């Protein structure tokens, strides 16, 4: 399980939406292999019936009142958008 193939690395890169080169795929395969090899040590521990911890606070479903609040200003929100038109964000073609 510790050695990752470059094919596996490319699949993960696709899932992560990261363009990678052939050299990067090889570098990642080596680095991820090292880290996952190190992480293997967790399997020494018997965790049968141990509840997973997502975060440490005893909080469930923090809700606010269902009342409309003013959101961020649209013109301000567009300040950091590279391309926009008529108050809408522009992107390239979604389908080829």
CA dist., res. 4 & res. 31, Å (int) = 9
CA dist., res. 1 & res. 45, Å (int) = 17
Q: Between residues 47 and 85, which has the closer beta carbon with respect to another protein?
A: 47
Rounded to the nearest whole angstrom, what is the least distance from the CB of residue 49 to another protein in the complex?
Answer: 9
Rounded to the nearest whole angstrom, what is the least distance from the CB of residue 96 to another protein in the complex?
Answer: 6
CA atoms within 13 A on the CB side of 34: 5
> Which spans of this chain sit near another protein (rule: CB under 8 A)?
1, 4, 9, 12-13, 15-20, 28, 31-32, 34-36, 38-39, 41-43, 45, 47, 50-57, 59, 62, 64, 72-73, 76-77, 79-83, 89, 91-96
Q: Give the single-character DSSP code of 83.
A: S
Hey, how many other C-beta atoms are within 10 angstroms of the C-beta on 28? Answer: 19
Rounded to the nearest whole angstrom, what is the least distance from the CB of residue 68 to another protein in the complex?
Answer: 15
């Amino acid at each position: 399980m510790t050695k990752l193939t470059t094919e596996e690395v490319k699949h993960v890169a696709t899932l992560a939406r990261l363009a990678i080169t052939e050299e990067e795929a090889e570098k990642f395969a080596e680095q991820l292999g090292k880290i996952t090899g190190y992480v293997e040590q967790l399997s020494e521990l018997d965790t049968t019936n141990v509840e997973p911890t997502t975060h440490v606070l005893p909080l469930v479903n923090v809700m606010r009142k269902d009342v409309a609040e003013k959101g961020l200003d649209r013109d301000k929100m567009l300040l950091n958008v590279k391309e926009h038109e008529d108050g809408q964000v522009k992107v390239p073609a979604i389908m080829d």
